[in-house]
Structure 1
């Protein structure tokens, strides 16, 4: 991906991938606070058709609470964004914002502990999605 995130690519449809992503996030203690349908917004606001693209605002309440206790303004960097998008080749990309960015932006060592925990959990979500499932 880039210096700000990591991703995996799934050989499935968007409609199959999205519930898989939600379930994998839930298994690691993340709920979804926001679900932005980018493709729907582009169609509604600009009359532009694009492949399915969702931005999920994933939140692990205990981690968010720890972060807010350490840095009250950290809410500007929360929740952890996860994208689910249909690629031109028909595959689905699932991308994760790297929680370590919070550390660099705040310089707060207590945030490092929270970011480390969140990163481990989100990498497990990513890895679980990358594994082929047996029907």
Structure 2
């Protein structure tokens, strides 16, 4: 029974959080996201330009869509100290995607959802703190 309840709880939790931003260019949104991430203690370790990648690899046209690999080194150190293999779940992905002209969606991974499957209560505490920081970043946009 407990397993079924955990499954239902996981299904109810979204794997990402997002915010739609209107009236700005992609680059303006990106600058806002980078500033808000920095204010929340995150740096950007990686960047994937999906628009460019899909064009080069599949000759498909996408609207601008970028994945930023964001890392808060303090929290990365905390979770790696608990479970070094958790590095498979780092960094936190933050995406910026153009929906239509001057309308963009900024999305972040929900670390609570991601860590739920690991089954370590100590990691969940930190995941909740990271979730709060990422949600705060979205709220500031």
TM-score by length of 2: 0.86
CA RMSD of aligned residues (A): 1.2
Question: Secondary structure of the equivalent of 2:62?
Answer: coil
**Is this contact kept in 1: 2:111–2:131, CA < 8 A?**
yes
Runs of at least 4 residues of structure 1 off by over 3 A?
none
C-alpha distance in 2 between matches for 1:9 and 1:3: 16
Higher alpha-carbon Rg: 2
**Is this contact kept in 2: 1:103–1:109, CA < 8 A?**
no
| Structure 1: runs of 5+ lacking an equivalent | 130-135
| Structure 2: runs of 5+ lacking an equivalent | 1-12
Matches within 5 A, 1:27-106: 27-88=39-100, 90-106=102-118
C-alpha distance in 2 between matches for 1:33 and 1:49: 26
C-alpha distance in 2 between matches for 1:46 and 1:116: 37
Instruction: Give the superposition deviation at 1:91.
Output: 0.2
Question: Secondary structure of the equivalent of 2:69?
Answer: strand
**Is this contact kept in 2: 1:102–1:111, CA < 8 A?**
no
C-alpha distance in 2 between matches for 1:109 and 1:36: 32
TM-score by length of 1: 0.90
Aligned pair 1:122/2:137, yes or no?
no
C-alpha distance in 2 between matches for 1:74 and 1:101: 14
The count of corresponding residues between Structure 1 and Structure 2 is 128
